[in-house]
Amino acid sequence: MSRKSITCTGKVSKTPLTEYESEAEALEGAQFAFVRYGQRNVPYRCKQCGLWHLSPANRQTPSSTCGVCQGQDGRPKASYASQQDAERRAEILQREQGLQLRAYPCDYGGWHLTKG
């Protein structure tokens, strides 16, 4: 069983998140969403309400790679369609990996992230 949270809303969707009592329940919900909608979701424990919600596994913003620019590791840089996409990605990376990144427009179209 699941219900809509009254405390938590999705950052992107702005609609109430579905809440689950346990991880097992959330996993079931994730499985359901995958079968029904083909969406991959991962359960996480919410710090705000202490219950479980689902987060899209592909919440990384859509990106492609730049055909021109390379990162320091020599691999093509990820390219984002808009500044907003790039900044959203930067936020996730900061939260998850503590990276300080900022978005800048690529000379060849799209947006990249760079350190500092």
How far is it, in rounded angstroms, from Cα 19 to Cα 25?
9
Decide if residue 81 touches Zn ion (CB under 5 A).
no
Of residues 13 and 35, the one with the C-beta less far from Zn ion: 13
Among candidates 21, 13, 31, which has minimal Cα distance to 53? 21
Contact 21, 28 (CB under 8 A): no
Residue with nearest beta carbon to Zn ion: 46
* Minimum CB distance to Zn ion smaller for 86 or for 88: 86
Choice from 26, 30, 54, 66 touching Zn ion (CB under 5 A)? 66
- Whichever of 22 and 48 has its CB closer to Zn ion, that residue is 48
By three-state DSSP, how is residue 81 classified? coil
Q: Quick check: 92 binds Zn ion (CB under 5 A)?
A: no
Q: String of b and e for 50-61 (b: at least 16 CB within 10 Å)?
A: ebbbbbeeeeeb
Stretch that binds Zn ion, among 23-31, 56-64, 96-104, 106-114 (CB under 5 A): 106-114
CA 52/CA 61 separation, integer angstroms: 22
8 vs 27, beta carbon nearer Zn ion: 8
Binding site for Zn ion (CB under 5 A): 8, 46, 48-49, 66, 68-69, 106, 108
